Chains A and B, each alone.
Chain A
Amino acid sequence: MFIVSNLPACAGVGFKPEHFRDILAAPQPLGFFEVHAENYMGAGGPPHAQLGALRERYTLSVHGVGLSIGSMEPLNREHLMRLKLLCERYQPESFSEHLAWSSHNDIYLNDLLPLPYTPQTLARVTEHIDEVQSALGRQMLLENPSTYIRFSESTIPEIDFLTEVSKRTGCGLLLDINNVFVSAKNHGAQPLAYLDSFPFDRVKEIHLGGHDEEVDEVGGPLLIDTHASPITEAVWSLYSHVIARAGALPTLIEWDNDVPDWPTLRHEATLAQNILSDASCASAA
């Protein structure tokens, strides 16, 4: 059996334990919650008690950050089995991971690191996603990365790379619009041009989050993907553009650091939901 990613085309929120009481206190007008897989790989305890309660009430998306799909080394089988166990336990409506690597030589570096885009890395990523999907018995979504540097050996544009992986493996794409904005600014490119050539028909989820702005040594913008602040106006406007073109899509608000109180986070989700609702009304009219 192959379970296809299936989130509702509504706004959802990345779950943080500090919001658990607020969330359970009243029904939340949200399409889904998303959790980081690696936080729920212990045997038991409060994390599972909370996730169980959340799962009973809401649609669930499991988002991995440690599988290292973009690595040239073999996947960590133990970690893949932990993911499988988690998916079997909670039966999430969707599972997603990143076009990035995070482990090398058995060392886990705890960051989403970039890879060159070449025929060789394309073949490797394809193999890894085939392996993940067959181990989990489900379709996964692959997220476009936020990057700060480029590789001189890259020969394939990022969108072509993602599209080809999706074609070869049947994986869906997770379009992180904040990542698009961060990467475009960091590489002196236009985020709108990137988005306008993105294969929206393969997108099954959108991520929105905040970033920090710094400068590099020559005074150029250096945007950092921190998920520690509200979504910027520029990213909201790109999001509206995407929804107007692609139609309503499941949309997650990510706020992982300097986590705000629950009403502040829910407000961001309401803003996204308003944009989604406008799109649904427009298409119905």
Chain B
Amino acid sequence: MSAMPAQFEMSFADALLNADRPVPCGITAHNAAIPTRRFAVYRNNVAVGLRKALQSRFPVVEKIIGEEFFAAMALVYVREQPPRSPQLTTYGDELPAFIAAFEPARELPYLADVARLEAARTRSYHAADATPLGADHFAGFDTDAVAGIRIDMHPSTEIVRSPYPIVTIWAMNSGEQELAPIENWHGEDALISRPSPQVEIRALPPGGAAFLLALAAGLPLGRAAEAALAEEPNFNLTGNLAGLIGSGLVRDIVFPQPKK
């Protein structure tokens, strides 16, 4: 009696993800009735392949906690949240939340936010291409019109806010900046974007994240500036606007509909 067509698949998949399961029935080798060692090749391929996918997406998290810790954590994550898509470049979007709740990583409260930054970095890397608008597009607006315009943000723009200095931590562990004790331990909001072929990561000035998030949510410039001012009384609209344009974050400007 042959097995149901899909049965081999179910028991095979189950035994791959759970190392304590025996080799499924019906699996043989020419020289062994129960080819444990041979089946382990598949188990290892799955575990190592998915760990590598996470390593390549979260290299700074791995650098901070070490290869061994990362591998152990990846093993648990893979078992709890295996990928749902063959498009592995998106695998690990949920790793930051997993880290935040991962008991053995509790001594590193900033780790989850560093992981959020790294996840955003890969999203930015693979985001759609677009040519940012140059500064000349902003010349000659009258002040009233400026408040009403909306900004269509470059698709690669990502913002990650944190009560920890995540941009400095990231830079020091990715080779962008020399590793040193962080004297001024304070929160940093990260701006991740890819106006050129390379992804750029930088810390935003106070109020900058509120400003950009408001714009990204579709609010007009005037309302976005109010949101930033509510958070940072010294918010500098001119400086942030120049930064917005200079960083290549503007794909398009949407003008308000003329009033009838």
Q: Are A108 and B82 in contact (CB under 8 A)?
A: yes
Instruction: Give the contacting residue for B82; candidates A65, A107, A189, A216; CB below 8 A.
Output: A107
Q: Which A83-134 residues have C-beta < 8 A from chain B?
A: 101-111, 113, 115-116, 118, 120-121, 124
In the complex, what distance in Å separates the CA atom of A82 from the CA atom of B46? 23
Chain B residues, Cβ within 8 Å of A222: 37-38, 41
We find that the number of chain A residues with CB closer than 8 angstroms to chain B is 56
Chain B residues, Cβ within 8 Å of A109: 13, 16-17, 46, 82
In the complex, what distance in Å separates the CA atom of A44 from the CA atom of B231? 34
The distance from the CB of A153 to the nearest CB of chain B, in whole angstroms, is 5
Q: Which A26-47 residues have C-beta < 8 A from chain B?
A: 38-39, 41-47
Q: Are B87 and A124 in contact (CB under 8 A)?
A: no
Q: Closest residue to B41 on the A side, CB-wise?
A: A148
In the complex, what distance in Å separates the CA atom of A124 from the CA atom of B8? 14
Known: A41-B89, A104-B9. A46 touches B125 (CB 8 A): yes
A72 at the A/B interface (Cβ < 8 Å)?
yes
B26 at the A/B interface (Cβ < 8 Å)?
yes
Chain B residues, Cβ within 8 Å of A79: 85-87
Known: A150-B27, A153-B2, A222-B38. A44 touches B128 (CB 8 A): yes
Chain B residues, Cβ within 8 Å of A217: 32, 36-37
Q: Closest residue to B29 on the A side, CB-wise?
A: A149
Q: Are B126 and A44 in contact (CB under 8 A)?
A: yes
Q: Which B13-57 residues have C-beta < 8 A from chain A?
A: 13, 16-17, 26-32, 35-39, 41-42, 45-46, 49-50, 53
Known: A115-B8, A188-B31. A67 touches B86 (CB 8 A): yes
B197 at the A/B interface (Cβ < 8 Å)?
yes
B256 at the A/B interface (Cβ < 8 Å)?
no
Known: A106-B84, A151-B28, A152-B28. A216 touches B9 (CB 8 A): no
We find that the number of chain B residues with CB closer than 8 angstroms to chain A is 49
The interface bits of chain A over 150-177 (1 if a CB of B lies within 8 angstroms of the residue's CB, else 0) are 1111000000000000000000000000
The interface bits of chain B over 61-100 (1 if a CB of A lies within 8 angstroms of the residue's CB, else 0) are 0000000000000000000001111111100000000000
A218 at the A/B interface (Cβ < 8 Å)?
yes
Most A-side CB within 10 Å, residue of B29, B30, B128: B29
B165 at the A/B interface (Cβ < 8 Å)?
no
In the complex, what distance in Å separates the CA atom of A68 from the CA atom of B10? 14
The distance from the CB of A125 to the nearest CB of chain B, in whole angstroms, is 11
The interface bits of chain A over 226-270 (1 if a CB of B lies within 8 angstroms of the residue's CB, else 0) are 000000000000000000000000000000000000000000000
Q: Are A116 and B46 in contact (CB under 8 A)?
A: no
A224 at the A/B interface (Cβ < 8 Å)?
yes
A186 at the A/B interface (Cβ < 8 Å)?
yes
Q: Are A218 and B28 in contact (CB under 8 A)?
A: no
The distance from the CB of B133 to the nearest CB of chain A, in whole angstroms, is 17
Q: Are A82 and B126 in contact (CB under 8 A)?
A: no
Q: Closest residue to A118 on the B side, CB-wise?
A: B2
B3 at the A/B interface (Cβ < 8 Å)?
yes
Q: Closest residue to B124 on the A side, CB-wise?
A: A45
Chain A residues, Cβ within 8 Å of B5: 72, 118, 120-121, 124
A209 at the A/B interface (Cβ < 8 Å)?
no
Instruction: Give the contacting residue for A42; candidates B16, B83, B89; CB below 8 A.
Output: B89
In the complex, what distance in Å separates the CA atom of A148 from the CA atom of B41? 8
Instruction: Give the contacting residue for B49; candidates A72, A104, A111, A151; CB below 8 A.
Output: A111
Chain A residues, Cβ within 8 Å of B139: none
Known: A72-B5, A153-B26. A218 touches B86 (CB 8 A): no
The interface bits of chain B over 114-126 (1 if a CB of A lies within 8 angstroms of the residue's CB, else 0) are 0000000000111
B254 at the A/B interface (Cβ < 8 Å)?
no
Known: A107-B84, A110-B53, A186-B38. A42 touches B27 (CB 8 A): no
Instruction: Give the contacting residue for A224; candidates B39, B41, B53; CB below 8 A.
Output: B41
In the complex, what distance in Å separates the CA atom of A216 from the CA atom of B40? 10
Known: A101-B9, A110-B50. A43 touches B88 (CB 8 A): no
Q: Closest residue to B89 on the A side, CB-wise?
A: A42
B180 at the A/B interface (Cβ < 8 Å)?
no
Chain B residues, Cβ within 8 Å of A202: none
Q: Closest residue to B91 on the A side, CB-wise?
A: A108
In the complex, what distance in Å separates the CA atom of A43 from the CA atom of B29? 44
Chain A residues, Cβ within 8 Å of B42: 111, 113, 148-149
The interface bits of chain A over 137-149 (1 if a CB of B lies within 8 angstroms of the residue's CB, else 0) are 0000000000011
Given contacts A72-B6, A121-B5, 9 further A-B contacts (CB under 8 A): A38-B86, A47-B126, A66-B87, A82-B87, A107-B13, A116-B8, A149-B27, A150-B30, A217-B37
* 27 A-B contact pairs sorted by A residue (CB < 8 Å): A42-B127, A43-B127, A43-B155, A45-B126, A45-B156, A46-B197, A47-B126, A48-B129, A66-B87, A72-B6, A76-B85, A79-B85, A79-B86, A104-B10, A106-B84, A109-B13, A110-B50, A110-B86, A118-B5, A148-B39, A149-B27, A149-B29, A152-B28, A187-B30, A189-B30, A216-B37, A217-B32
**Nearest 6 CB-CB pairs, A to B?**
A66-B86, A42-B126, A44-B129, A43-B128, A72-B6, A104-B13
